[in-house]
Amino acid sequence: IFALIVQVIGGVNATALLFAGLGPVLWIVYAWLVARDVTFRRALSVTARTGVLTLLASLWWIAGLRMQAAYGLDILRYTETVEAVARTSTPNEVLRGLGYWFFYGQDRLGPWIEAATTYTQVLRVILAGYILVALALFGAAFVRWRHRVYFIAVLTIGVVIAVGAHPYKSPTPLGRLFESLASSSTAALAMRSTGRAVPLVVLALAVFLGLATNVVSERLRKRGGRAYALAAPAVVVALLAVNFPALYNGSYYGKNLQRPEQIPSYWKQAIASLGNSSDSRVLEAPGSDFASYRWGNTVDPITPGLTDRPYVARELIPYGTAGSADLLNALDRRLQEGVADPRGIAPLLRRMGVGDLLARNDIEYERYDLVPPRELARVLAGTPGLAALRSYGTPGRAVPVGVQDEISLAAPPNDAYPSPVVVYGVKDPVPIVRAESTDHALMVSGDGEGLVDVADVGLLDQAGVVRYSASYTSPGALRAATNPGAVLVITDNNRLRARRWTSVKDNVGYTEQAGEADRPLDLDSGDARLPLFPNQQPSAYTTTVDLGVQRAVASAYGNTITYTPEDRASRALDGDPYTSWRANAFGDARGQRLRIDLERPITTDHVNLVQPLTGGRNRWITNIDLRLDGGPVLPVTLDPSSRTVGGQTIAFGRHTFQRLEVTVRQTSDHATNLFGKLDAVGFAEIRLRDEHSAHDVTMQEVVQMPTDLLDALGPDAATHPI
């Protein structure tokens, strides 16, 4: 029976299964060692038979995980981080049955779990939850029962596991152990969602609550009869009702996850028209965080389940190989941001083995800030080499997003809205499996972004084999792989920069200096770069060189979800008060810091600080700490003058120093709202001037393109078209 239950639920999530499985395991140990209800031989026999049958019943999902681990990307690196999980797994939330990170997430249209607003903002629900926990703990402490030890063990172990690494920035010794285990191996990282142990906590608390209710009810019955005896369960039931508003407010099933049982007929017609040929792929556009259609949210896209034809689409998590994910991201980014060159799309699709492009125009583009369907339709309609073969469904209408951007403002006012699904055929497609000629070869110094550029300028369609120079880990190997007469393409891509996987847009960081990733100011747990070119030469990257200072670096920039390179640390030293270093929008900005390492020591007695003058301004920095060359902390209170172009001048006495560090100690928001929209804070200008200079210290960033290809070929590069 146990194996059959696992077979039914096991494929949903192995972590949840393993954590919940601790309950039965503990029961076997308890029955043998504490209650002494069974012998060791009996316990071992039951464990062995249950374990073997459960393993056999789980092979169907274990095989899939094994295949992905052997041949695909390390998916765990691109999903939720230990820090994201630990952020919400507070002991008090865990005790009331919450604390799982996903419960608190939201997108542009609202919370992922609609009940989250009720459980975090409605006072009566919060109070009822804590009262129930208190009553259950009262039962655990004072009610004697034969199996109390077992459920106390389940409760304790469940809380310890569920809390995990919280608080992430300053964990307990046990929390530090959770952190270190998660970073030690892939198997340990798979167990990072420790909040999935909460069912153990809820089970134990429910048992203790029932015991306490029974005891109190029995004592009241002895004092006042049956009417008194009903008082205790009545109070508990009332508290449970208040704590479970889904019973009466219709939120048991989230409205954002409800959908018809049958998908729209136009989708079935569109997918049927694609056929089942395995010669070429179907590319679905635009990329989307999740498949949230106008007619219902299926989370995963429906197309792969309805066709046997090879399929590819940009999703939140990269699947397949690093090279294919990188190229798909590069193409989709251009479409999403409205900067795709139509001339390069068809050649790139041919190179990818795509025979048909399916435009899913009924995606809720406003939910994840995707390219509007009308904009995508305009680009594809003007793409040479694409033909709009078929349209399916009745054209809808534009959905007001409430936020205007440059793409929507540039749209023609009377542009027709496209059909929900449109299939475009690629002219002269090439099969997925094919040979490429070594004549007319391309050697590209760049990555997927560079390959899109190659297609845009017309070099890709008539090319033979295409290679990336960064694939070769030594100059000799690169030189040997470059065919005589091959065209050399040098791009400003393959940039050394951070990458997140929290959305399909705004997920790459600023271009870093060589070696910068090896010496971060703070570890960015969300930075998960694709291993596109393992062990590549440093000269294969596009990097930056800072002029005017050695380095300006911050603990974070932008917001807690996406990267915004325009908010990087160098913007506080560029001499322009209308650009800024800004950090931690949507989150707690306290503790964020910026460090400036100057080219040489300067002598001065002050610094002038200007807070951001543009963008959102619903909170400010009120207190900071200054440190010169790692010396004593100088607390500073910022006044309204710091919010003006002239800035606030901070005097600290005459010092000679080469390093200045500014730490945000307090901001104007003293309360943290889980669903708030707090703006980033930071500095537009940090003005430093040596007493012997007439000018402030400023910096410039110079982009340095890859040199690996020309370095490897040397004088022979002159024999190739470049």
pLDDT digits (tens, 9 = 90+) for 376-399: 999 999 899 998 789 999 997 766
- Is residue 457 scored above 80 in pLDDT? yes
- Is residue 689 scored above 90 in pLDDT? yes
Looking only at the bridges linking them, the beta strands covering 543-547 and 700-704 are antiparallel
- Is residue 673 scored above 70 in pLDDT? no
- Is residue 340 scored above 60 in pLDDT? yes
Once rounded to an integer, what is the mean pLDDT over residues 44-71? 89
Q: Report angle CA 527, 539, 351 to the nearest 5 degrees.
A: 75
Confidence of residue 233 (pLDDT cuts 50, 70, 90): very high
Predicted local distance difference test score (pLDDT) of residue 671 = 57
Once rounded to an integer, what is the mean pLDDT over residues 62-75? 84
Q: Quote the percentage of the chain above a pLDDT of 90.
A: 65
Structure tokens at 254: 């989230």
Q: Which residues pair with 490 in a beta bridge?
A: 445
Name the residue among 530, 630, 613, 531 with its Cα closest to residue 571: 613
Global pTM?
0.88
Query: How many CA atoms does the CB half-sphere of 238 hold within 13 Å?
Result: 7
Predicted local distance difference test score (pLDDT) of residue 412 = 78
Confidence of residue 135 (pLDDT cuts 50, 70, 90): very high
- Is residue 639 scored above 80 in pLDDT? yes
- Average per-residue pLDDT in the chain? 90
The backbone torsions φ and ψ at residue 57, rounded to the nearest 5 degrees and listed phi first, read -75, -15
110 Cβ neighbours under 8 A, 6+ residues apart: 256
Predicted local distance difference test score (pLDDT) of residue 117 = 87
Confidence of residue 601 (pLDDT cuts 50, 70, 90): very high
Query: How many CA atoms does the CB half-sphere of 526 hold within 13 Å?
Result: 19
Once rounded to an integer, what is the mean pLDDT over residues 582-605? 92
CA gap 100, 96 in Å, rounded = 11
Q: Which residue has the tokens 């799309």?
A: 345
Confidence of residue 447 (pLDDT cuts 50, 70, 90): very high
The backbone torsions φ and ψ at residue 499, rounded to the nearest 5 degrees and listed phi first, read -145, 135
Predicted local distance difference test score (pLDDT) of residue 82 = 87
CA gap 90, 163 in Å, rounded = 6
Predicted local distance difference test score (pLDDT) of residue 282 = 96
Predicted local distance difference test score (pLDDT) of residue 356 = 96
Once rounded to an integer, what is the mean pLDDT over residues 598-624? 92
Predicted local distance difference test score (pLDDT) of residue 187 = 74
Once rounded to an integer, what is the mean pLDDT over residues 370-381? 91
Confidence of residue 464 (pLDDT cuts 50, 70, 90): very high
pLDDT tens, residue by residue, 519-575: 888 888 889 999 999 999 999 999 999 899 999 999 999 888 888 999 999 999 999
Once rounded to an integer, what is the mean pLDDT over residues 651-655? 93
Once rounded to an integer, what is the mean pLDDT over residues 164-168? 86
Structure tokens at 675: 């669903």
Q: What does 191-255 look like in DSSP terms, one character per residue?
A: T--GGGGHHHHHHHHHHHHHHHHHHHHHHHHHHH-HHHHTHHHHHHHHHHHHH-THHHHS-SS-G
Q: Are 156 and 174 in contact (CB under 8 A)?
A: no
* Of residues 309 and 412, more confidently modeled: 309
Predicted local distance difference test score (pLDDT) of residue 538 = 93
